[in-house]
Structure 1
Amino acid sequence: MNGFRRPSWWALLLTVAGALLFTRLGIWQLHRADFKESLLRRYAAAVTAPLQDFAAVAAKPPADSFPRVQVRGHYLVDRLYLLDNPRHDERGGVEVFAPLQIGDQQHLLLVDLGFLPGNGNGKMPPLPPLSAEEVDLHGLYVPPPPTGFEMGGDALARQTRWPKDSIYLAPAQVSRDLGRPLYPRVLALDADAASVYVRRHTLDLTMPPSRHRAYAFQWFSFALAAVVILLVLHRKRGPRRP
């Protein structure tokens, strides 16, 4: 390395530590991308999996898997919730959720009835009536919709009429609003050609695999930049011309 000056020990230590840290973070992001892809594959396979009894997984669903269950109960037809920020429709619309009473259980099961498309005029479409009789349901037992920061706090507590709508549907807020505990997951009903609801079984990930890979590339770039900066700063310069 005749063209470079010997770096000081602290500069070399700082560069090596930074490059190792950035490389480690990049590898971690690649592992997260692989995990998310595996999760998506398991979710897609669960759509056609055999049905199992809801009681077996109700309180403690298996981690990182999505049981396809069957359950019997009756809807609380006057306690509907509307999620008005679904991402898969450009004309507007709402995702409709209804609490389900299962026998004499204290816990309620929040059922995702599906997406009700809008008509593009910004008005909420009319909700189809639900039967108050006992119904047999089957679908995927999935995590609740992701939540985020909501301006003004709990939007459900400020509303006095039903159905209630919100841009986020936090299970804790729904439980507090109903005055009843909820099961830890949501039942996403199987697709039904006769239903007016659109039911697309897609796992809503906060960060998809592609974004993890983009972050990995960013961290690897930082590691390379740290080495390049060290070399540039310690490159020997020729004598200045008069």
Structure 2
Amino acid sequence: MNSLFTALITKRIVATVSALLIIVIGCAAGIWQLGRAESKIALAANLLARQQMPILSANDRAWTLTEASERRMTARGRYLPEAAIWLDNRPRPLPEGGSGNAAQAGFYLLMPLRLEGGDEILWVNRGWAPRNQENRETLPPIQTPVGPVNVEGIVFAHPGKVYELGSSKSAPPLNGPRIEQNLDLESEAKLRGWAQSPFILRLEESGIPDGLLREWAPLTTGVDRHYAYAFQWFALAFAGFVFWLASGLRQYKRPDLKSGDQG
């Protein structure tokens, strides 16, 4: 037993430490990927549960983010297309099992809706449109209703954030739509000088052909990928252990090593 311990560990300190690092890193990364998967499943379950609650109306009163987050909401008002913000570098939304190119880049169209019966603004994520490949400054052609509209969707704190290099110190132009990387609700409210809801409303697919896609992917999208990554990390840890053990046993069985131990 002592000679086996010597062959596997004592005479192979560097190999043992290296194998131990591989096993620890592989197991830790695998557990982390499993945690990511479980978090997505829990978030999706929570979202589904909140969607089953009574539908809120943005016109009834001013709702807080805590009250309205991930709830279904309806709103009636008029769009303000001249203040629209096109969020760049957004992937195409695809339903679960849907077809299409998920890597295709485009825009989310965020447009303020002035609620009927008051002056409060509700920012609405109307959907996704592809980016012009020849000139990225050319905005996609979409249709916007002129009169009052009734919309329905799900409330979120923001439309999602992407990495942004630096920030513009100069005030953006307010005379028309503009392209941005992210939407800062507080900054936009100060810039415009209007009262607005502390959240955005992501529209659901209504079947209205306005040039925008709203087939949002469920929050559980990517869970299978996390499981696959976890398997790969655990396999790496197991392979590291097997290689360490096999090389150690092969060295232990070498006649010169065994005769040296006996002397």
TM over 0.5: yes
Give the one of 23, 30, 33 matched to 1:26. 30
Structure 1 residues 1-242: aligned runs within 5 Å: 5-8=7-10, 19=23, 22-37=26-41, 39-40=43-44, 51-54=55-58, 58-61=64-67, 66-88=70-92, 94-102=107-115, 104=118, 108-116=121-129, 122=135, 123-131=138-146, 134-154=148-168, 157-159=171-173, 161-171=175-185, 174-175=188-189, 177-179=191-193, 183-203=197-217, 208-232=222-246, 234-235=248-249, 236=251, 238=254, 239=256
Q: Secondary structure at the residue paired with 1:84?
A: strand
Which stretch shows the higher mean deviation, 165-174 or 208-217? 165-174
Distance change in 2, residues 1:218/1:117 (3 Å): closer
Q: Which runs of 5+ in 2 are unaligned?
A: 93-99, 258-263
Distance change in 2, residues 1:16/1:140 (3 Å): same
Q: How many Å apart are 1:165 and its aligned residue?
A: 0.8
Give me the whole-angstrom Cα distance separating, in 1, the residues matched to 2:21 and 2:195. Answer: 49
Q: How many Å apart are 1:211 and its aligned residue?
A: 3.4
Give me the whole-angstrom Cα distance separating, in 1, the residues matched to 2:128 and 2:44. Answer: 20
Q: How many Å apart are 1:111 and its aligned residue?
A: 0.4
Q: Secondary structure at the residue paired with 1:234?
A: helix
Q: Which structure has the larger Rg?
A: 2
Describe the superposition over 1:128-173 as per-residue Cα deviations: whole angstroms up to 9, x where unpaired: 3443x55432211134232222234249944454101124444455
Q: How many Å apart are 1:69 and its aligned residue?
A: 1.1
CA contact (8 A) 1:146 1:206 kept: no
TM-score, length of structure 2 as denominator length: 0.64
Residue type of the partner of 1:59?
L
Give me the whole-angstrom Cα distance separating, in 2, the residues matched to 1:17 and 1:117. Answer: 45
Give me the whole-angstrom Cα distance separating, in 2, the residues matched to 1:15 and 1:116. Answer: 49
Q: How many Å apart are 1:15 and its aligned residue?
A: 5.5
Residue type of the partner of 1:217?
F
Describe the superposition over 1:63-115 as per-residue Cα deviations: whole angstroms up to 9, x where unpaired: 7xx32111234433421111233322878764321123345576x42101223
Give me the whole-angstrom Cα distance separating, in 2, the residues matched to 1:86 and 1:144. Answer: 14
TM-score, length of structure 1 as denominator length: 0.69
Describe the superposition over 1:40-77 as per-residue Cα deviations: whole angstroms up to 9, x where unpaired: 566678889863334586421577xx321112344334
Distance change in 2, residues 1:160/1:51 (3 Å): closer
Q: How many residues align?
A: 236
Residue type of the partner of 1:81?
I
Which stretch shows the higher mean deviation, 142-151 or 155-164? 155-164
Q: Secondary structure at the residue paired with 1:85?
A: strand
Q: How many Å apart are 1:192 and its aligned residue?
A: 2.6
Give me the whole-angstrom Cα distance separating, in 1, the residues matched to 2:229 and 2:105. Answer: 31
Q: Which runs of 5+ in 1 are unaligned?
A: none
Q: What is the alpha-carbon root mean square deviation over aligned residues?
A: 4.4
Distance change in 2, residues 1:211/1:228 (3 Å): same
Describe the superposition over 1:150-205 as per-residue Cα deviations: whole angstroms up to 9, x where unpaired: 23424994445410112444445544543557544321223233341434241486
Residue type of the partner of 2:241?
V
Give me the whole-angstrom Cα distance separating, in 1, the residues matched to 2:214 and 2:36. Answer: 24
Q: Secondary structure at the residue paired with 1:29?
A: helix
Distance change in 2, residues 1:35/1:57 (3 Å): farther
